[in-house]
Chains A and B, each alone.
Chain A
Amino acid sequence: MLKIAVSNTNPGTIFVLSGRLAGPWVDEVRNCWLKQKKHESAPCHVDLREVTFIDEAGTRLLSQMYRQGVTIQASGCLTRAIVQNLDKTGVHKHG
């Protein structure tokens, strides 16, 4: 399962994900992100430090988000490797 915590900061929105970004939860994250995007144009940030697994669809979503300007924070060697391969630019490295 995945928990999505959304917090609105000034400026922007932070999505803190905990658990597995895989299967049906990928669409949940996508919907949250699209809803946020529709209502505000402020920057968006995704925190993946509590994510334990990302599947192929999750990786594709992160890639799409990244390309649209979302900054992504990761930790753990697998998550970091996935995020680093989205693109080297713009990724907030943790630790």
Chain B
Amino acid sequence: MNDRPPLPSPHEVQGDSARYGALLQVVEAIATHSDLSTLIQDLARLLPLLVPVNFVGLSLYDAQRGVMRLHVLQANVPADIIGGQEAPLADTPAGLVWDTQRPLLINDLTKESRWPTIVGLMREDGVQSCCLVPLTSVDRQLGALEFSSLQPSAYGEQDLDLMQQIGRQVAVAVENVLNREAANASRRDVERQRDRFALLLRMTNTMASTLDLREVFKAVSLCLREMVPQEYASLILYQSKTNRVRLEALDFPDNEGALTEGAMSDVAGSLAGLAFERKRPAVANTLPELQSFAHAVPQLLIRKGFHSMCSLPLLSRDRVIGCLNLASRQEQAFGEQDLAFLSQVAGQIALAVENALAYQEITELKDRLTEEKQYLEEEIRLEHGFDDIIGDSRALKQVLSQVEIVAPTHATVLIQGETGTGKELIARAIHRLSGRNQRTFVKLNCAAIPTGLLESELFGHERGAFTGAIAQKVGRFELAHGGTIFLDEVGEIPLELQSKLLRVLQEQEFERLGSTRTVHVDIRLIAATNRDLAKLVEDHEFRSDLYYRLNVFPVTLPPLRERREDIPVLVRYFTQHYAARMKKPIESIPAATLEALSRYHWPGNIRELENLVERAVILTQGTHLQVPLPELKIQAQEPSPPATTFHDAERDQILRTLRDTRWVIGGPDGAAARLGLKRTTLTSKIKKLGISRPRE
């Protein structure tokens, strides 16, 4: 303002041209000011050039509250300026002008009896006369502009026109200012909303990226400080078992050990209690309000100088699962907008808490299932001795060598052998030595399942797939995903299922019964049978393509009679096993018993041997195993079945002769003489054929 030309004195202003000049300056001031206060200051400075003015006042109507508010009052004489007064419309002359939209001229205030309070104040400032004109824009009635003078009858009718013109200009300026203020307020509001949404997004992202409740709360607390003034934040979660709350996380720099994370407490008498009860935010924005809560936490906060607190319920499916609590040392810290925003934050936290709790539960269940699985696997191993492959015979070692070769691969294995030769033991050994050993080994005996249920057992079914399918069932192939499936007695699978089995083997996919959704699996198949699959193929009882798919790596287990040298160690093993289980002090097995057992044909193979030993342990009184040998005698007389190869025939003949000579090789009645061989030749053959004398 200082760079403007000096103003002419009232005496210098003469005639209409001077008044118009002054009026132009007033208009310019109106046009250039964006702030009501400075506008009125300038008007108070300029208007005396046009009219005799000592005070200029601007009153605006507050529609929300229904009052007239004196926004600005400026004087060009010494006076006690009182701004910001509010009064009902009827109590102010400005109210009358606003209401009637007509100017008001009071020439002698001493005679004015209306509006005693306002008029009294004006008199105190020495005002003798005044003139008020309406401030009205095209769109709305804004208020009134007041000109006051220390002179009585300072304004004539001729001034009214000028003042009304000024009033209309000021109205435009006031409306501009008000619009600008409204626009600024809207902009600030939008910016605040934007910042809050950005914050909310940041918090949501943080919450979505972690399942640790403490981490979630830490992130939330940090973000909240940017937006809401608070020096205390806590997260409490409701524990249904105890009907109390647990302090899950705390952000309270001035805590000094007063509150401890993990502590349990009641919520009665606290803001959180109120929020729990009402399922909506509870707030105490003043010290007296806060003091009305008798709970230990609000009382502690009061002692620490806090004045405001709010508690926001964490709602999940209309159930309060906890509360977010915030407190501030400021009064009125949590306004309506803050609470609306914090409620959104609480909603996000509720989701994060639900997710974290669900994840926690899943993890616990998963761990428990893993432990149970390990326990059951261990029990199965111990119960059936699946880890123990007993024997030192050449035939067994040959099989074990094949197992070691095939185990690390993903190849399908077909285990063939007579019943009771230990096919499952070998299948489990292959799984244990493979890269799938941390996953499940699933076994299914195809002969033990009714044909009608076999498909459902293998592939599973959906609820309602057939009458009686009252629940969904996961099939063995799905259970074995990532692991190994062992199909015992695979030759018993009916033809109509064989094509589906072939598809699983080739494509690693199938559909559950009653479902069209294809399930993809990663499984390794080990099949076993004691039937001649090639013969079944010839008889059209087994699909040839499935047979070739299964027969990738065949392993044939020798019957026990072809590994007789393992019989003594197997007998000892089973004896020790059952003796320990039955708490019998059996310490030895008579040599004659071992000899007899070694001679027996064992059509039921190891299973038969095990059952016999178990029975023997039950019958034994004392420390020597008593085997019911007469049961075996009839069988023992039976000749061995014809050997299939020259190698086997030679081996059988040598073994029989050695048994007959009680393992005497040399001498006139020795095995070498009986076989017509040199002693050294026989010794060499015994070594080559892997024949060893049974121990004990």
Known: A52-B580, A76-B580, A95-B623. Is A81-B695 also a contact (CB below 8 A)?
yes
A73 interface contact, C-beta 8 A: no
Residues of A within 8 A of B579 (CB): 76-77
A21-70 contacts to B, CB under 8 A, are 22-23, 52-53, 55-56
A55 to B387, CA, bound (A): 10
Q: Are A77 and B588 in contact (CB under 8 A)?
A: yes
Q: Looking across the interface, which residue of chain A has its beta carbon closest to that of B695?
A: A81
Residues of B within 8 A of A80 (CB): 587-588
Interface majority SS (helix, strand, loop, mixed), chain A: mixed
* Stretch of B222-230, B326-334, B568-576 that contacts chain A: B568-576
Residues of B within 8 A of A52 (CB): 576-577, 580
Shortest beta-carbon distance from B434 to chain A in Å: 15
Shortest beta-carbon distance from B595 to chain A in Å: 15
Q: Are A75 and B587 in contact (CB under 8 A)?
A: yes
B582-638 contacts to A, CB under 8 A, are 585-589, 623, 625
A64 to B576, CA, bound (A): 24
B373-392 contacts to A, CB under 8 A, are 385, 387-388, 392
Q: Are B586 and A77 in contact (CB under 8 A)?
A: yes
Most buried by A among B392, B572, B623: B572
A20 interface contact, C-beta 8 A: yes
Q: Are A53 and B623 in contact (CB under 8 A)?
A: no
A37 to B21, CA, bound (A): 117
A7 interface contact, C-beta 8 A: no
Q: Are A78 and B575 in contact (CB under 8 A)?
A: yes
Q: Are A77 and B576 in contact (CB under 8 A)?
A: yes
A76 to B623, CA, bound (A): 10
Interface size bracket, A side: 10 to 19
Q: Are B587 and A77 in contact (CB under 8 A)?
A: yes
A1 to B505, CA, bound (A): 35
Q: Are B586 and A53 in contact (CB under 8 A)?
A: no
Q: Are B625 and A77 in contact (CB under 8 A)?
A: yes
B191 interface contact, C-beta 8 A: no
A82 to B549, CA, bound (A): 43
B261 interface contact, C-beta 8 A: no
Residues of B within 8 A of A8 (CB): none
Shortest beta-carbon distance from B34 to chain A in Å: 85
Q: Looking across the interface, which residue of chain B has its beta carbon closest to that of A55?
A: B388
Residues of B within 8 A of A53 (CB): 385, 387-388, 573
B387-436 contacts to A, CB under 8 A, are 387-388, 392
A53 to B574, CA, bound (A): 11
Residues of B within 8 A of A85 (CB): 695
A69 to B297, CA, bound (A): 72
B696 interface contact, C-beta 8 A: yes
Q: Looking across the interface, which residue of chain B has its beta carbon closest to that of A22?
A: B387
A79 interface contact, C-beta 8 A: yes
Residues of A within 8 A of B623 (CB): 95
A92 to B47, CA, bound (A): 127
Q: Are A79 and B387 in contact (CB under 8 A)?
A: no
Shortest beta-carbon distance from B361 to chain A in Å: 30
Which of A20, A22, A55, A78 is B572 in contact with, Cβ under 8 Å?
Answer: A78
A65 to B407, CA, bound (A): 32
Residues of B within 8 A of A77 (CB): 572, 575-576, 579, 586-589, 625
Q: Are B576 and A76 in contact (CB under 8 A)?
A: yes
Residues of A within 8 A of B388 (CB): 22, 53, 55
A79 to B577, CA, bound (A): 11
Q: Are B588 and A95 in contact (CB under 8 A)?
A: no
Known: A22-B387, A53-B388. Is A78-B587 also a contact (CB below 8 A)?
no
Q: Looking across the interface, which residue of chain A has its beta carbon closest to that of B588?
A: A77
Shortest beta-carbon distance from A65 to chain B in Å: 20
Residues of A within 8 A of B385 (CB): 53
Q: Looking across the interface, which residue of chain A has its beta carbon closest to that of B696?
A: A81
Residues of B within 8 A of A78 (CB): 569, 572-573, 575-576
Q: Are A95 and B696 in contact (CB under 8 A)?
A: no
Q: Are A95 and B576 in contact (CB under 8 A)?
A: no
Shortest beta-carbon distance from A23 to chain B in Å: 8
Residues of A within 8 A of B573 (CB): 53, 78
A71-95 contacts to B, CB under 8 A, are 75-81, 85, 95
Residues of A within 8 A of B387 (CB): 20, 22-23, 53
Which of B392, B576, B585, B696 is A79 in contact with, Cβ under 8 Å?
Answer: B576
A52 to B586, CA, bound (A): 14
Shortest beta-carbon distance from B253 to chain A in Å: 50
Q: Looking across the interface, which residue of chain B has its beta carbon closest to that of A75?
A: B587
14 sampled A-B residue pairs with Cβ under 8 A: A20-B387, A23-B387, A53-B387, A53-B573, A56-B392, A75-B587, A76-B576, A77-B575, A77-B576, A78-B569, A80-B587, A80-B588, A81-B695, A95-B587
Which residues from chain B sit less than 8 Å from chain A, CB to CB? 385, 387-388, 392, 569, 572-573, 575-577, 579-580, 585-589, 623, 625, 695-696
Using A53-B573, A76-B587 as known contacts, list a sample of 4 further A-B pairs with CB atoms less than 8 Å apart, ordered by residue number in A: A53-B385, A80-B587, A81-B569, A95-B585
